[in-house]
Structure 1
Amino acid sequence: MSDPSRPDPAPPAASPLTPLPGSVRELPAAAQPVGLPDPDAPLEVTLRLRARRQLAPHLAAAPLTREAFAQEYGASEDDLRRVEAFAHDHSLSVVDASAPRRTVILRGTVAQVEAAFGATLALYQVDGRTFRGRSGPVRLPADLLDVVEGVFGLDDRPQARPRFRLAGPVGGPGIAFPRQAGVSFTPPELARAYGFPEGDGQGQTIAIIELGGGYRKADLSAYFAGLGLPLPRVTAVSVDGGRNAPSGDPSGADAEVMLDIEVAGAVAPGAHIAVYFAPNTDAGFLNAVTRAVHDTRRKPSVLSISWGAAEPAWTRQAMQALDEAFQAAALLGVTVLCAAGDDGSNDRVGDGLAHTDFPASSPWASGCGGTRLSLADGQITREVVWNEGAGGATGGGVSDTFPLPDYQRNAGVPPSANPGGQVGRGVPDISAVADPQTGYRVRVDGQDTVIGGTSAVAPLWAGLVARLNARRGQPLGFLNPRLYPLGVLRDITEGSNGAYAAGPGWDACTGLGSPDGAKLAALAETPQSL
């Protein structure tokens, strides 16, 4: 670390740099400055470029190939050259340049990057964790403002949290297998209860985004052998230096990773599970998503995301970039499923207002809410909104960022519970069991345990979509405009998540409801449906 007395670098009074719209970032209220980063330390930044042409707001009859998408909607060669010239002028090297992903990654020293983007970086500490942070906007030369839509990676504070909840201390009394029947479930038991169609997802690839933690093959082998299922093919994909790195802490990020793989894999054991590991930063999150969506080798048809944060925690440029990445996924026929959060309608902001969780609030994603489930003899006897108070509750509500999408115009989305009553994008769209007290039996770091949270709902639905895709021989793609007019889910009408209550039809706790596999299978096999 350099001398904390070093004065903050700042653009000169006559600087040609101009603030990039949407790039303003605020420091956490509790952040305490603890010094300055080493000016000679290496630093990578990700630039998100404009599309060659505006992304089509409506889906075509058939999804685009990834090659056709790159030609039509990727970054132009001229824009890539302009960014490379900017890098040269500021002594930055080009690490990667991808037209389909509209991404250029640059590397330089901290001092070079600060000068290039007119940013002031410092070290801060919150809750004992130190991060490199910034406040205010990123700046660019005026002639790049129409080319670059976002700059990410200057700030390396943790961007998102995993959306899982433990039923209790791992290995604690009453938590380890076996549990009383009807209190916790294996994924195959849930698939049968929800009537998932027969199949194993053969030929499909399920992409999973992870921002920490890891898995051990020995745990996966033991888990699937215990279920009497074949071990799925699981591939770890490194993004921005992220990697499969199990910590050995079954209460940490390993729990998220193992939950996602085991739930999706147990529902669709014939599918390839591709796990994209990235650093937990805005740059890492974005790059993991775009790598998965545009992966021409593995070609995922489903993307499961169980990490998120309340909308106020994001910059506008980050939400725009991820929203457009999900729009690209829709044009490519990739289904995107995002956990809606585990902290009720406030989403852990603590300001007395209602907040939706992002990326579940993206209009191009299917937000996944949570329920509490009761079974008898394998049949559903009751399903209500998950709300255990301090033990967690499903996220959901009305977005403060995104307007009401067309597919929700007749869904009865209410005005926001916040002052002003904004009518915006309603979250979630779909749901399934998430209460850890009626949770999922999984294995993490050598221990059998029970986990819930909306983190589990996204991979459960991902396994269902993989089965349906395999049955119909083509991807379902973006679910929301297909599901809203049909009424094919199990409507949840009891409970609330704080500011919003469940009721007949769509609601801001469980969306359209939980899966009715038989109806979904019938519709999926009809060419004009789903």
Structure 2
Amino acid sequence: MIFRVRRYILFLFLVFLLAACTTTGFSKSMDGGTATASSQPSAVPGFADQAITTCPAELANYQGCHTPYTLRQAYDVESLTKQGFTGKGQTVVVIVSFGSPTLQKDLDAFSRQFGLPQSRVQILSPLGTVPFNTQDSDMVGWATETTLDVQLIHAMAPEANIVVMTSPVSETQGVQGLPEFKQLEEYAVNHHLGQIFSQSWAASEATLADQAGQQLIKSYADFYKQATLQDHWTIFVGTGDQGATDFADLNSTKLVNARNVTFPADVPWVTAVGGTTLASSQGATIEHAWSGSGGGFSKFFAQPDYQKALPSSVQAQSGGQRGLPDVSANADPSTGMSFYYNGNWSLTGGTSASTPVWAGLMAIANQLAGHPLGFINPTLYSLAQGAGEQQNFHDVTIGYNNNQSTKGGETVNVKGFQAVPGWDAVTGLGTPKGSSLLHNLAATTK
């Protein structure tokens, strides 16, 4: 299950809004094909001039609230949007448990609110479905997760196609739900459903250390290597919301009282996405590390080649292991984007919000390139070297991901990592300067 505690907090926040606010109730077809280029994009009629900077009235008390427009502005994507680079012709595939019965209705309301093009989500369930129970907090949590994933992708890449693939089994910790998710991913690749995965789910490395866990991890890593290098998919995975640690047990009730990261963000073939706090002050954007941003060094995977050029200070921390995250985006619920679920407005949060931001950006990069870019990590790290860092990334240098909290009656005090100039184990290389980064990514990825 995607970051159980984050989804639970999000649900509580939604309940608060239901009690405090009077809510307002309130296409494009998909071909499901491989991503293709739009060689001469044109501005989207009635869309390029949209500059909605105000969140719905229900969220008026939340000063940090973002709209799709302000989020695209913050990451310098709006200039591309106005030129018609909106992810058109590209498809992002989202892997979740259960899905949401109100997904399309909610997306339609979201699009109307912010002047976005209407988009028809394709929902596929090749493993079957189970009846949706509105009294089941796990199912409701997955429904809100599915909704925010889809709406954030649509916010960043308003003309990208979105395929949601649902599993009838809840992914939690350990191997639970992971075989089913892998089957869905394999189905997506084998049936050429798109070229980008957005995956806002994770299992703690601490719950996958046994033989069954290690076997499954190897099978995933082998599949991801093939999917990225041979089939040219790009895979974005959130790093989790427990800072420098994660859960110790299969029920997600206790935390490891030591540094710990999550799978599959630890796999070298995925692009691991951490979190920041994206705030505004007197017209200026201020961004620092979000304390919940998962980050650290894997116990399962060695340092990949693309991280071996990182400075000696990082090498001393890494112990020769894979570091994460690779990149970041806004994940703090207090500065989240507004999204619409089942008749109510709320705020997004967690690295399950920053991950679909990058998936949307990737749809634009593929459109710019005219072909799927596939495995982008070596290029990302190359573009962050020397003068390229300031050109392509917002280098986040303030904040940390310590975790001092009590769960399951036990208190943990885990010293995390500090955001510093260059790559760090809180925000990775930083957040995107979209126009420059996506053009350079499209031009230099082989």
TM-score, normalized by length of structure 2?
0.75
Deviations 1:225-257 (A, max 9, x none): 111112212111113224694737696211100
Deviation at 1:162, TM superposition (A): 8.2
- Superposition pairs for residues 285-304 of structure 1, below 5 Å? 285-296=181-192, 298=193, 300-304=194-198
Whether the aligned pair in 1 keeps the contact of 2:87 and 2:157 (CA below 8 Å) is yes
Q: Give the Cα separation in 2 of the matches to 1:399 and 1:172.
A: 37
The residue number in structure 1 matching 2:241 is 342
Does structure 1 residue 326 correspond to structure 2 residue 224?
yes
Which SS does the other structure have where 1:484 is aligned? helix
Deviation at 1:287, TM superposition (A): 0.8
Deviations 1:359-378 (A, max 9, x none): 11100000000001112476
The residue number in structure 1 matching 2:111 is 224
Does structure 1 residue 185 correspond to structure 2 residue 83?
no
Counterpart among 143, 150, 154 of residue 265 in structure 1:
154
Q: Give the Cα separation in 2 of the matches to 1:363 and 1:292.
A: 20
Q: Residues 195, 171 of structure 1: CA spacing in aligned structure 2 closer, same or farther, 3 A cutoff?
A: same
The residue number in structure 1 matching 2:332 is 435
Q: Give the Cα separation in 2 of the matches to 1:244 and 1:378.
A: 47
The residue number in structure 1 matching 2:260 is 355
The residue number in structure 2 matching 1:169 is 13
Amino acid at match of 1:285: F
Amino acid at match of 1:493: T
The residue number in structure 1 matching 2:275 is 370
The residue number in structure 2 matching 1:208 is 94
- Superposition pairs for residues 31-180 of structure 1, below 5 Å? 161=4, 164=7, 166=10, 169-172=13-16, 177-180=58-61
Q: Give the Cα separation in 2 of the matches to 1:465 and 1:244.
A: 33
Percentage of identical aligned residues: 34
Counterpart among 391, 395, 401 of residue 497 in structure 1:
401
Runs (4+) off by over 4 Å: 158-165, 173-176, 243-246, 248-251, 376-379
Q: Give the Cα separation in 2 of the matches to 1:159 and 1:522.
A: 31
Q: Give the Cα separation in 2 of the matches to 1:347 and 1:416.
A: 23
Q: Which shifted more, 161-170 or 343-352?
A: 161-170
The residue number in structure 2 matching 1:422 is 319
Q: Residues 203, 337 of structure 1: CA spacing in aligned structure 2 closer, same or farther, 3 A cutoff?
A: same
Counterpart among 122, 125, 148 of residue 235 in structure 1:
122
Larger Rg: 1
Specify every segment of 5 or more residues in structure 1 that has no aligned partner in the other structure, as ranges: 1-157, 388-392
Counterpart among 428, 440, 445 of residue 511 in structure 1:
428
Q: Give the Cα separation in 2 of the matches to 1:288 and 1:394.
A: 27
Q: Residues 221, 244 of structure 1: CA spacing in aligned structure 2 closer, same or farther, 3 A cutoff?
A: farther
The residue number in structure 2 matching 1:386 is 290
Q: Tell me the number of residue pairs that the alignment of Structure 1 and Structure 2 aligns.
A: 361
Does structure 1 residue 410 correspond to structure 2 residue 309?
yes
Q: Give the Cα separation in 1 of the matches to 2:236 and 2:345.
A: 26
Whether the aligned pair in 1 keeps the contact of 2:364 and 2:438 (CA below 8 Å) is no
Bigger relative CO (Cα 8 Å, ≥ 6 apart): 2
Deviation at 1:505, TM superposition (A): 0.6
Q: Give the Cα separation in 2 of the matches to 1:405 and 1:522.
A: 25
Does structure 1 residue 484 correspond to structure 2 residue 388?
no
Does structure 1 residue 310 correspond to structure 2 residue 204?
yes
Q: Residues 230, 394 of structure 1: CA spacing in aligned structure 2 closer, same or farther, 3 A cutoff?
A: same
Q: Residues 469, 244 of structure 1: CA spacing in aligned structure 2 closer, same or farther, 3 A cutoff?
A: farther
Q: Give the Cα separation in 2 of the matches to 1:229 and 1:190.
A: 14
Q: Residues 326, 245 of structure 1: CA spacing in aligned structure 2 closer, same or farther, 3 A cutoff?
A: farther
Q: Give the Cα separation in 1 of the matches to 2:76 and 2:2.
A: 36
Q: Give the Cα separation in 2 of the matches to 1:246 and 1:501.
A: 42
Q: Residues 351, 376 of structure 1: CA spacing in aligned structure 2 closer, same or farther, 3 A cutoff?
A: closer
Deviation at 1:476, TM superposition (A): 2.0
Q: Residues 179, 478 of structure 1: CA spacing in aligned structure 2 closer, same or farther, 3 A cutoff?
A: farther
Deviation at 1:179, TM superposition (A): 2.7
Deviations 1:382-427 (A, max 9, x none): 111101xxxxx1100000000000000012374687xxx7330001
Q: Give the Cα separation in 1 of the matches to 2:70 and 2:131.
A: 28
Q: Give the Cα separation in 1 of the matches to 2:334 and 2:182.
A: 33
- Aligned-residue RMSD, C-alpha: 2.5
Amino acid at match of 2:200: S
Whether the aligned pair in 1 keeps the contact of 2:241 and 2:294 (CA below 8 Å) is yes
Counterpart among 179, 184, 188 of residue 283 in structure 1:
179
Q: Residues 247, 477 of structure 1: CA spacing in aligned structure 2 closer, same or farther, 3 A cutoff?
A: farther
Larger strand percent: 1
Deviation at 1:213, TM superposition (A): 3.6
Whether the aligned pair in 2 keeps the contact of 1:224 and 1:230 (CA below 8 Å) is yes
Which SS does the other structure have where 1:230 is aligned? coil
TM-score, normalized by length of structure 1?
0.64
Specify every segment of 5 or more residues in structure 2 that has no aligned partner in the other structure, as ranges: 24-57, 171-176, 249-254, 385-391, 403-415
